[in-house]
A and B are shown apart, each in its own frame.
Chain A
Amino acid sequence: GQSLEQPSEVTAVEGAIVQINCTYQTSGFYGLSWYQQHDGGAPTFLSYNALDGLEETGRFSSFLSRSDSYGYLLLQELQMKDSASYFCAVNGAGGFKTIFGAGTRLFVKA
């Protein structure tokens, strides 16, 4: 089967650093993506890792280890507006089938 696992909820304070982990099991793998979704809004693309290592984009970084079927999203200098759901997603067989994890709800407190 195909599955992605990520924590259901994470709480952190403003200015802190938080890491959201994702482990996956899929048939075929092209890359790991991360999306942010605010309540009532559309998912917004954050990052994509096709190769092992760390990708940095501003306050957000994403890491992938293909040998461990594991990745994480690192959010630094947390702001209240970062409160949202974060989904990891895998491009599986054929590259077009994107499977989303159940999402991690991030609560940022003052």
Chain B
Amino acid sequence: DAMVIQNPRYQVTQFGKPVTLSCSQTLNHNVMYWYQQKSSQAPKLLFHYYDKDFNNEADTPDNFQSRRPNTSFCFLDIRSPGLGDAAMYLCATSSSWVGGNQPQHFGDGTRLSIL
């Protein structure tokens, strides 16, 4: 089945130690998103790629970076994780069309813990 896969499901890192989360998709969608979701809160968009064009949200900390080497893969790099970065990180994809860009297909997420 076509899907969005995130690895790993659970990631533990140390305070200040760089960490990379990965996302792959077999849907061949041209738009990919990274969201941060903290407990009992809404998913918060960090950035998205439209094809190779990177779009950063204004309030996304500089600590967060992303790479999309090809259509299928997208990475979230957290350069110096702080305790406040502990959250679920969700990758999503969509196929762009005028106005809608729905639905978004989400991966199962990576739960990041900071020691």
Task: Report how far A81 CA is from B93 CA in the complex, Å.
Answer: 26
A45 touches B99 (CB 8 A): no
Q: Which of B31, B33, B107 contacts A42 (CB 8 A)?
A: B107
Answer whether residue A60 sits at the interface, using C-beta atoms and an 8 A cutoff: no
B-chain residues with CB within 8 Å of residue A43 when the two chains form the complex: 43, 90, 92, 104, 106
A12 at the interface (CB under 8 A from B): no
> Across the interface, do B108 and A96 meet the contact criterion of CB distance under 8 Å?
no
Find residues 87-109 in chain A having any chain B CB closer than 8 Å to their own CB: 87, 91, 95-103
Verify A95–B108 contact, CB threshold 8 A. no
CA distance A42 to B43 in the complex (A): 10
Fill in one digit per residue for A3-19: 1 if any B CB lies within 8 Å of its CB, else 0.
00000000000000000
How many residues of A are in contact with the other chain, CB < 8 A?
21
Query: Shortest CB–CB separation between residue B110 and chain A, in angstroms?
Result: 11
A44 proximal to B (CB < 8 A): yes
Question: Which residues of A sit under 8 angstroms from B90, Cβ to Cβ?
Answer: 42-43
B31 near A96: Cβ-Cβ < 8 Å = yes
Once bound together, how far apart are the Cα atoms of A100 and B52, in whole Å? 24
Which of the residues A30, A45, A96 comes within 8 Å of B50, measured between beta carbons? A96
Contacts of B92 in A (CB 8 A): 43
Q: CB-CB contacts of A53-78 with B at 8 A, as 1s and 0s? A: 00000000000000000000000000
Instruction: List chain A positions with a Cβ less than 8 A from chain B.
Output: 30-31, 33, 41-45, 48, 50, 87, 91, 95-103
Knowing that A42-B109, A98-B33, A100-B43 are A-B contacts, what are 15 other residue pairs whose CB atoms are under 8 Å apart, sorted by A's residue number?
A: A30-B101, A42-B106, A43-B43, A43-B90, A95-B99, A95-B100, A96-B96, A96-B101, A97-B48, A98-B101, A100-B42, A101-B42, A103-B40, A103-B41, A103-B42
A sample of 25 inter-chain contacts (CB < 8 A) reads: A30-B99, A30-B101, A43-B43, A43-B90, A45-B103, A50-B99, A87-B43, A91-B100, A91-B101, A91-B102, A95-B96, A95-B98, A95-B100, A95-B101, A96-B48, A96-B50, A96-B101, A97-B45, A98-B33, A98-B104, A99-B45, A100-B42, A101-B42, A103-B40, A103-B42
